[in-house]
Amino acid sequence: MALLTPDDLEDILKKLEHNDNIIKDATGMDIKQICETVYGTKLGCEKIGIIPITAGNGIIGNFSSSLLAIADYFGLDGFITEHTDVTGYYQATSGDADILMMADDHMFIAHNLRNGKIATNHICTGVIYAEIASRYRHADTKDVLVIGLGRVGYGGAEHLVKKGFNVFAYDPNAEFLEKAEKELGIIPLDLDHPQKFSMVFEATPNSNTISEGMVAERCLVSTPGIPCGLPDDIGKRDNVDLVMEPLVIGVAAMLHAVL
């Protein structure tokens, strides 16, 4: 499980502003509008209760405070419980939290206490980053490339298939590739016959997973992957746009998903 580090979370709101500008330019909508469209919901005055969890590798220095800053960015009241784990959970539920957010090393969830809805970070992250890629306004086909079919990649690929895109996908894990081909009907990428794509969704924990032959002249690469899978020399080209940030976009999707 690839875990965030405090360095990843440095200046997250600055990174969000930068990415939101790219998203607006590339899709015509900002991240809030895209979340509202995908989930058909609008944030109101929900109160967010954030519970630090000490399980496994334990507390990540600025993880809870990052969630609080994200809630605030989207105009929501929030608080971090004084205690961790079960005591923290009790404090949040007996306080006035509407939505709880908590994460151990394997699952990061949002739970709406008012309607019972639960959203996971990996599905919401896959869906929202895939959605961003699919809205590239310079794309002239319905072909989308998905790189990585793990928890996030599979969720994004499933979303794109449901939306009627032609989903080409690659994962070196043959089992994951076969599962996605069988269950979703994705088209395994033919590495021997490279095809260029103007929409790429990458969800891997590796760098340099996107090669020259995959990227069309105008291309939007949308990736939550840490580190970034797009090589610098390709990413710096004028007509290649990159949406990549460590936490906020996925959390925005989680909040909209549980309303």
Q: Distance (Å, rounded) from C-alpha 93 to C-alpha 87?
A: 10
Is 153 a binding residue for ligand 2YC by CB under 6 A? The answer is no
Question: Minimum CB separation from ligand 2YC for residue 200, in Å?
Answer: 20
Q: How many residues bind ligand NAI (CB under 6 A)?
A: 27
User: Which of 9, 152, 220, 255 touches ligand NAI by CB under 6 A?
Assistant: 152
Answer with the entry of ligand 2YC, Mg ion, ligand NAI, none that 188 interacts with (C-beta below 5 to 8 A by kind).
none
Q: In what order do the strands lie in the sheet with 187-188?
A: 187-188, 166-170, 143-147, 197-202, 215-222, 240-243
Pair 121, 254: CB distance under 8 Å: yes
Residue placing its CB nearer to ligand NAI in the complex, 52 or 156: 156
Selection from Mg ion, ligand NAI, ligand 2YC, none that 148 binds (CB < 5 to 8 A by kind) is: ligand NAI
Report residue 122 as tokens. 């990996």
Among 39, 63, 165, 201, binds ligand 2YC (CB under 6 A): 63
Q: Which two tokens stand for residue 26?
A: 């590339």
Q: Which residues contact 106 (CB under 8 A, 6 or more apart)?
A: 1, 56
Angle, CA of 54, 56 and 60, to the nearest 5°: 55
Q: How far apart are CA 135 and CA 56, in angstroms?
A: 38
Closest separation in Å from C-beta 76 to ligand 2YC: 19
Residue 99 near ligand 2YC by CB under 6 A:
no
Choices 26-34, 102-110, 211-219, 222-230; region in contact with Mg ion by CB under 5 A? 222-230
The answer to whether the beta carbons of residues 6 and 62 sit under 8 Å apart is yes
Identify which of residues 65 and 211 has a Cβ nearer to ligand 2YC in the complex: 65
Identity of the residue numbered 188: P
- Residues 6+ away with beta carbon under 8 Å from 238: none
Per-residue mark of binding to ligand NAI, 171-190 (x: CB under 6 A): xxx--x--------------
Give the shortest CB-21-to-ligand NAI separation in angstroms.
18
Closest of 76, 159, 68 to residue 122, by C-alpha = 159
Q: Which helix (H) or strand (E) holds 41?
A: none
Q: Which stretch binds ligand NAI (CB under 6 A): 27-35, 44-52, 200-208, 235-243?
A: 200-208
Within 8 A by CB and 6+ apart from 64, the residues are 50, 52, 80
Contact residues toward ligand 2YC (CB under 6 A) are 3-4, 52-53, 59-60, 63-64, 103-105, 108, 121
- Judged by the rule CB under 6 A, the positions of this chain that interact with ligand NAI are 2, 121-122, 125, 147-153, 170-173, 176, 203-206, 209, 224-226, 246-247, 250
